[in-house]
Amino acid sequence: MTRRDPLLPNAGIVARHEYRDRVRSPLYLLSTVILMGLALAVALTPIGIRYLDRQRVDRIAVVADDDRLAAAMIATAQGIMNIAPAGADPETWTAPYAFERATDLATAEAELVRQRINAYLHVYRLPEGRLQVDYRTSGPVDGVQSQLAGFAALSVAIIDWTSSLPAGSQLGTFEAPVFDPRSISAPIEGGEAVDAVEAASRSFLGTVFIILMFITILIYGMWVATGVATEKSSRVMELMISAASPRQLLFGKVVGIGGAGLTQYIAIVIPAVIVLAFQDQIALAVLGETGAGLPIGGLTIGLLLAYGAFFLMGFTLFAFVYAAVGSFVSRPDDLQTLSLPLSLLAMAGYVSALTVLLSGGGFVGRLASFVPPFSPFAMLARLMVSTVQPWEVALSVGILLVTIALVALGTVRIYATGVLLYGQRPGIRRFIAAARHAG
């Protein structure tokens, strides 16, 4: 039988001490204020994009072999899609769409691919006489623009039908045109096509989140390592290790510093959530009637929660390893040597997430979203820019939690030995040998 050292209350006492120590430091307060500002900027980014975009005019080309059809299409679309909203000042209001005739279909397609135009309408007559209007866009096909284009196609068909009737003749059967809308956007993971602006917004936000996670995990992880190393270098560890078990000290430290990180996260998230909660009102104030009500893509409360969850799990995993590393050096200065491999590991996770954000990630990105320590980064990135199945999130979280538990067990052994070693040159061999001899 050996001494029973339940985690509480000592782990809680250590955690409270570590927490207070961190949150009272000027550096912590400064970094919190800076990150709050950054979060506010990120939360306002979609509105900012819309604001910068509000004077944008979407160019839509019209392709038709028949000059009359082309002219009718342009006139109709102009009338339907460029109706000024009620209350708009005619002096300042700009029509959101500009229509132009393309010389041929190939030219229009090339222009669309090069994003020189936003869409084109190809109008042609089918052998049986009906009109067909193909609508090709770089945006989604279920958006307002697409619907308006459909109305315009219908109207052209009506004009075409009525104008083709002989004077004084009875009305025949109207045949609705064939309207074929398609997006040229590559569907993102999950098969859902996303508007280019929305995709860019999500990708931008995802990049900010991943950078934020990478930086905070490294910073908070180094806090843990430095905290342990400082206790060793100041020799206070000898007192601590006799008053509390290594497990209590380790968990207290990780929880305390993690709590300080969580506090900072909450301080960052609250203003962002407030902005999200009032985004319609803010958009109305910034963009006016014409911009209000537009869907603002990107940041959602769900994504903020996902960020918080993956940050906490990622931090916990790295914090345990950083604690083990910290227990192995005699001075905080020596941490540079041992923390480099850890930084590279976090960097690998960061890069895998960026791959997901920029190009969907493919198999490697998908795999990384399940494999710790990359999964907190890669899964968050997938959540930002794609549709992820719930079972995939559950599996990723499950693997991550099991890994954290295993790493914690190993770290307690290493920590128990490491904290008593003084005057050692840090090295991987010593690290492993100590873990084997511990206990």
Partner 1 sequence: MLAPVTLVIDRVTKRFAQTLALDELTFSVPKGRIFGFLGANGAGKTTTMRICLGILQPDAGDVRWEGTRSVELPRRTWGYLPEERGLYPRMGVLDQLVYFASLYGVPPAEARRQAEHWLARFRIPEYADRRAEELSKGNQQKVQFIAAILHGPDVLLMDEPFTGLDPVNLALLREAFVELRDEGRTIVFSTHQMEAAEALCESLAIVDRGRVVASGTLADLKRTTRARTVRLGVEGEILPSWLTSIDGVAAVRPAAGFMELELRPGTEPREVLASALARGASVTHFEVAEPSLEAIFIEYVGHPAGDDATLESALDEDAA
Instruction: Describe the strand order of the beta sheet including 58-64 as a list of residue ranges.
Output: 97-101, 58-64, 119-125, 131-137, 178-183
Our CB check for partner 1 shows the closer of 69 and 434 to be 434
Of 17, 5, 65, nearest to 247 by C-alpha is 5
Residue 374 Cα distances to 69, 158, 377, 410, angstroms: 56, 58, 6, 19
Our CB check for partner 1 shows the closer of 278 and 422 to be 422
Q: How far is the CB of 224 from partner 1 (least distance, A)?
A: 16
Q: How far is the CB of 355 from partner 1 (least distance, A)?
A: 39
Our CB check for partner 1 shows the closer of 5 and 53 to be 5
Coil, strand or helix at 58: strand
Our CB check for partner 1 shows the closer of 189 and 238 to be 238
Q: How far is the CB of 32 from partner 1 (least distance, A)?
A: 20
Our CB check for partner 1 shows the closer of 21 and 392 to be 21
Coil, strand or helix at 197: helix
Our CB check for partner 1 shows the closer of 6 and 37 to be 6
Residue 246 Cα distances to 7, 253, 319, 425, angstroms: 10, 10, 15, 22
Our CB check for partner 1 shows the closer of 304 and 434 to be 434
Our CB check for partner 1 shows the closer of 380 and 434 to be 434
Q: How far is the CB of 421 from partner 1 (least distance, A)?
A: 6
Q: How far is the CB of 144 from partner 1 (least distance, A)?
A: 60
Our CB check for partner 1 shows the closer of 114 and 235 to be 235
Residue 191 Cα distances to 145, 183, 388, angstroms: 21, 12, 11
Q: How far is the CB of 263 from partner 1 (least distance, A)?
A: 20
Placement of tokens 């939690």 in the chain: 401
Our CB check for partner 1 shows the closer of 118 and 417 to be 417
DSSP one-letter string for 328-376: T-SSGGGHHHHHHHHHHHHHHHHHHHHHHHHH--HHHHHHHTTSTTTHH
Coil, strand or helix at 60: strand
Q: How far apart are CA 81 and CA 145, in angstroms?
A: 8
Backbone phi, psi, residue 431, to 5°: -55, -50
Name the site residues for partner 1 (rule: CB under 8 A). Answer: 1-3, 5, 9-10, 13-14, 17, 21, 231, 234-244, 417, 420-424, 430, 433-434, 437, 439
Q: How far is the CB of 420 from partner 1 (least distance, A)?
A: 7
Q: How far is the CB of 225 from partner 1 (least distance, A)?
A: 17
Q: How far is the CB of 187 from partner 1 (least distance, A)?
A: 55
Coil, strand or helix at 93: coil
Question: By CB neighbour count within 10 A (0-12 exposed, 13-18 middle, 19+ buried), where does 58 fall?
Answer: middle
Would you tell me how many other CB atoms lie within 10 Å of the CB of residue 69?
20
Q: How far is the CB of 268 from partner 1 (least distance, A)?
A: 26
Placement of tokens 């809308």 in the chain: 181
Backbone phi, psi, residue 131, to 5°: -95, 145
Of 233, 216, 251, 212, nearest to 18 by C-alpha is 251
